[in-house]
Amino acid sequence: MVLEELVQIKEQELASRKKFTLRCCLAAGCVSSNAQAVKDALDRAVKEAGLEKEVEVRGVGCMRLCCEGPLVAVDPAEVLFEKVAPADCDALVATLKGVPSQLKRGDLTAPFFKHQLSIVLENCGLVDPDRIESYIAADGYLALRNVLREMTPQEVVQLVTRSGLRGRGGAGYPTGLKWATVAKTTSSRKFVICNADEGDPGAFMDRSVLESDPHRVIEGMIIAAYAVGADQGFIYVRAEYPLAIQRLQTAIRQAKQYGLLGSGVFESPFNFNIEIRIGAGAFVCGEETALMASIEGRRGQPRPRPPFPAESGLWGHPTLINNVETFANIPPIALKGAEWFAGIGTERSKGTKVFALAGKITNTGLIEVPMGTPLRTIVEEMGGGAPEGGQIKAVQTGGPSGGCIPASQLDTPVDYESLAKLGSIMGSGGMIVMDQTTNMVDVARFFMEFCMDESCGKCVPCRAGTVQMHHLLRKVMDRKATSRDLAKLEELCDMVKNTSLCGLGQTAPNPVLSTLRYFRNEYLELLQPAPKQPAAVAPATGIF
Amino acid sequence: MAAKTLTIDGQMVGAAEDQTILEAARDAGIHIPTLCHLEGVQDVGACRLCLVEVTGINKLLPACVTKVTEGWEVRTSSERLQRYRRMVLELLFAERNHVCAVCVANGHCELQNLAVSLGMDHVRFDYQHPRLDVDLSHRLFGMDHNRCVLCTRCVRTCWYIEGAGTLNVAGRGEKSKIITDLNAPWGDSTTCTSCGKCVMACPTGALFYRGVTVAEMERDRGHLEYIVTAREKKQWIV
């Protein structure tokens, strides 16, 4: 592959475009509401209407408004049909000839769409994830070509550093700094890993990116590998995402066929291969050291850091490990420049962030907004608030590692520092909205149960501490706890947070701490009065 | 090899550059409590008893796996650390069924000794009382999961000292369990060399030699008869 071929593929693809395009969402959300049958019905309806020469039916990825799926968009009319059933397809195709229909149309000027700024998701819903040509037509792999032909690895690292991009997996570590560390190590082998083990309850950002635009992630990984000097990459994706795995496999095969992966990428001396590793269902394998242990074929358990993966990762070699969304940000940065990217977002959080809106909210789905967008804009304007006249009570960000932000703090801008200040975290982008019917103690209990089940069992505070915290939370829920139990719970939160080995344990108390901080009354209301006469001498309850 | 100088509990300590805080403290006569650490096998930093404070570093660091750094001020026994250590022990005692009075390791148990030395005199958390198995299928050794603290000293010993790779951990979280081979009874293991190193490594009574536990003593009455018969009748019973 050389530039001329890339341009040729793009031109061919654009030339083959027909007068109308019907884009039918085939990402997991819509597929689960029968979108594949809709796509088949559209194909048939177009054929029966004799419009094959004028209409292309394209299976695409996520078009954001998952709750209204299956979604079908019409180009160039800029119409979005919602909740399309296979039986609606004849009528839908007829609208192309100007026949009016009663089909449900989405309002593309609604705040849900209007406030979005698509960088990571710019191709999602437009390109066909199963066809590399479709991605190339959207300037795919152009960034890679430019990087390989016009930039040194050091310049790529500097570019990413200047962009101010921070890791989208949750912790927000500066991506450029991580790349620079790996690039500077001298080792005969280096690895690049894409962490696609998205496991937070209610989070589906990475899944959507992988299902909608797998080539984008692959291109980002190849650029990263060139920058740090790696020749082997792994995508660690959870087995619960079969569609993402299938599309990644297709994408890797196509990229190899076009000489974009393998030996001599873009006919340069640079070699890079990507293998897929499928997770076996352990949440903790999203933690980087556990993930690497799992790739190596060992038990997926974290180990103490340092040494960090950048220094000693897979099989002891320097390893760059980034999240799906981080890699997906790389090609546009390489194409449009670091300054363009750094111009979006806030002082310390650059670019955009993809969030998965879920829970008690009218518009569930995927949104991408500039960093610093107030939570209120996201949940009230874009999300449309709580359904059926409900009141938003809290927003949970960061999954089991995050916290609950009360409605009173909704004007907080969404960036790494502001969310941390509120006792939550940015996390990977799951955003669960709760209304007045939600019991916050039960929310804390739910997340603690999750952490308890997902603790790997290696270190004592996380393995046994989460069990005891869950037990105490259940006791509160059952109205059997006293103020002493609450004190014990708080003491455990402090201990588990400060003594656990990895991030899972260190952040497991966060949902409890944040609900205690903002909704303490709900705990107090459930407490039993403490016994009036505390025993003078604490009886030895142990039998050891 | 370059040497490093640091202070541990206010005492100036010299250390080799590849030494851990634990080793440097030990050489200086400063005791840091440990449970999952065992001389001779790779450390995992899992029990969190050896966590120490270092001035200027927010996080607590496990002394067993943290290399010394020039100029560090390390504190090994602040009030906070002692409280956390007692809580680790409380969590361990509440997690499984540790009944010292009927345990083979009573008086020789690291968990018990730690409770005594760290002043953990009662457990405030509710006992979990899990129902766990005892594997007595091996001819020489027994494994009582009720007494296991999941320190994995036996596993590491089996892999790195004996090289047999018989022992491993199955399950996760509170359901974690030491297993032999692919969770087959120990007595059926095809890889166990019956070397007994795991029993030597175990800090509690979870791994033990068979025949010496409570109610296992058997007397050989026939031996007395053998001697008496030999003396009096000059007959040797075969």
Q: Assess if residue A542 is contained within a domain.
A: no
Angle at B60 between CA B58 and CA B64, to 5 degrees: 145
Q: Would an 8 Å CB–CB cutoff place B136 in contact with chain A?
A: no
Give the domain range for residue A468: 440-526
Catalogue the E-assigned strands of A291-334.
Answer: 319-323
Q: Which residue of A has its CA nearest to B64?
A: A304
- Sort A36 into a burial class: Cβ within 10 Å, 0-12 / 13-18 / 19+: middle
Whether B175 and A468 lie within 8 Å, measured CB to CB: no
Pairing of strands A20-25, A55-60: parallel
Residue B156, min C-alpha distance to chain A (Å) = 13
Q: What backbone phi and psi angles, to 5 degrees, belong to A374?
A: -65, 145
Bridge partners of B144, per DSSP, are B134
Asked if the C-beta of B207 comes within 8 angstroms of chain A's C-beta atoms, the answer is no
> Is position A534 within any domain?
no
Task: Provide the pLDDT for residue A544.
Answer: 56
Q: Are residues A81 and A180 in the same domain?
A: no
CA A138 to chain centre: 22
Tell me the domains of chain B and their CATH numbers.
3-77 (3.10.20.740), 85-209 (3.30.70.20)
Domain contains A130: no
Chain B residue with Cα closest to A454: B173
Tens-digit pLDDT profile for residues B132-191: 999 999 999 999 999 999 999 999 999 999 999 999 999 999 999 999 999 999 999 999
The answer to whether residues A503 and A478 belong to one domain is yes
What local confidence, expressed as pLDDT, does residue A535 receive? 54
Check B45 against A459: CB less than 8 A apart.
yes
**A194 in the same domain as A155:** yes
Torsion sign, CA atoms A84, A88, A89, A92 = negative
* Bridge partners (DSSP) listed for residue B179: B168
- Across the interface, whether the CB atoms of A464 and B169 are under 8 A apart is answered no
CB contact under 8 A, B45 and A501: yes
CATH of residue A98's domain is: 3.40.30.10
> pLDDT value at position B216?
77
Chunk chain A into consecutive blocks of 10 residues (it has 544) and report each block's average pLDDT, rounded to whole numbers: 94 96 96 96 96 96 95 94 96 93 94 97 97 97 96 98 95 96 96 96 95 98 98 97 98 97 96 97 96 97 96 97 98 97 96 96 96 96 93 94 95 94 90 95 97 97 98 97 97 98 96 97 92 56 52
Q: Residue A387 — φ and ψ, nearest 5°?
A: -75, 160
* Buried b / exposed e along A305-317 (16+ C-beta atoms within 10 A): beebbbbbbbeeb
State the Cα–Cα distance between residues B152 and A85, nearest whole angstrom: 56
> Do residues B47 and B27 touch, judged by C-beta distance below 8 A?
no
**CATH code of the domain in which A455 resides:** 1.20.1440.230
Domain membership of residue A5 (yes or no) is: no
Identify whether A456 is part of a domain.
yes
List of E strands, chain B:
3-8, 11-16, 51-54, 61-62, 73-75, 134-135, 141-144, 167-170, 177-180, 207-209
Query: According to the model, what pLDDT value does residue A218 have?
Result: 98
Task: Please report residues of A whose CB lies closer than 8 A to that of B99.
Answer: 543-544
A313 and A176 belong to one structural domain = yes
Classify strands A191-196 and A319-323 as parallel, antiparallel or unpaired: parallel
- Cβ neighbours of B190 (radius 10 Å): 8
User: Which pLDDT value is given to residue B213?
Assistant: 75
**DSSP notation for A476-510:** HHTT---HHHHHHHHHHHHHHHHH-SSHHHHHTTH
Please give the angle made by the CA atoms of B78, B81 and B87, to the nearest 5 degrees.
145
- A150-208 residue pLDDT tens: 999 999 999 999 999 999 988 899 999 999 999 999 999 999 999 999 999 989 999 99
Same domain, A173 and A152: yes
Tell me which chain B residues have a C-beta less than 8 angstroms from the C-beta of A488: 124-125
Which burial class, exposed, middle or buried, applies to A330 when counting CB atoms under 10 A from its CB (0-12, 13-18, 19+)? buried
Which of A499, A501, A502, A543 best tests the B interface by mutation, with the highest count of B CBs <10 A?
A: A499
Q: Given this model, what pLDDT does residue B219 score? A: 84
**Quick check: helix, strand or coil at residue A431?**
strand
Distance, in Å, from the CA atom of A136 to the CA atom of A91, rounded to the nearest integer, reads 32
Segments in chain B below pLDDT 50: none
Q: Are A492 and B47 a contacting pair at CB < 8 A?
A: no
Q: Report how far Cα A386 is from the mean position of its chain's Cα atoms.
A: 23
pLDDT at A165: 97
Residue carrying structure tokens 């082997």: A232
DSSP state of A448: H
Contacts 24+ apart (CB under 8 A), A97-104: A97/A49, A104/A68
According to the model, what pLDDT value does residue A531 have?
67
Rounded distance between C-alpha atoms, residue A2 and residue B184, angstroms: 57
Residue A411 sits in a domain whose CATH number is 3.10.20.600
Alpha helices in A129-200 (DSSP H): 132-137, 142-150, 153-163, 175-184
| Residue-level pLDDT at A226 | 98
| Total count of domains within chain A | 4
Using the 3D structure, point to which of A391, A420, A435 is the last residue of a domain.
A435
User: Within this chain, do residues A285 and A155 fall inside the same structural domain, yes or no?
Assistant: yes
Strands (E), A310-397: 319-323, 352-359, 365-370, 392-397
A356 and A240, same structural domain? no
- Would A428 be classed as within a structural domain? yes
Given CB atoms, is A185 within the 8 Å cutoff of chain B? Answer: no
Q: How far apart are CA A124 and CA A207, in angstroms?
A: 12
Asked whether residue A508 falls in the same domain as residue A471, the answer is yes
* DSSP string for residues in B31-64: ----SS--TTS-----S-TTEEEETT-SS-EETT
Asked whether residue A428 falls in the same domain as residue A513, the answer is: no
Q: Where does a domain end: A435, A452, A467? A: A435
Q: Are residues A384 and A444 in the same domain?
A: no
Contacts of A458 in chain B (CB under 8 A): 44, 46, 152
- The answer to whether residue A12 sits within a structural domain is no
Cis peptide bond N-terminal to A70, omega within 30 = yes
Q: Are residues A190 and A284 in the same domain?
A: yes
A383 phi and psi, to 5 degrees? -75, -15
Check residue B1 and give its pLDDT: 66
3-state helix, strand, coil in chain B (%, to 5): 30, 15, 55
Q: Is residue A395 part of a domain?
A: yes
| Residue B63 confidence (pLDDT) | 98
A399 Cα to chain B: minimum distance (Å):
19
Cis peptide bond prior to A461, omega within 30° of 0: no
Q: Determine the Cα–Cα distance for residues A290 and A281; give it in Å rounded to an integer.
A: 13
Q: What is the ipTM of this complex?
A: 0.92
Structure tokens at A505: 């344990």
Q: How far is B148 from A8, CA to CA, in rounded Å?
A: 66
CATH number, position A324: 3.40.50.11540
* Same-domain check for residues A311 and A417: no
Closest CA to A129 of A39, A53, A203: A39
Q: Which of A435, A462, A478 lies at the terminal end of a domain, its last residue?
A: A435
| Structure-token match 């030491």, residue found | B178
**Beta carbons of A357 and A369 less than 8 angstroms apart:** no
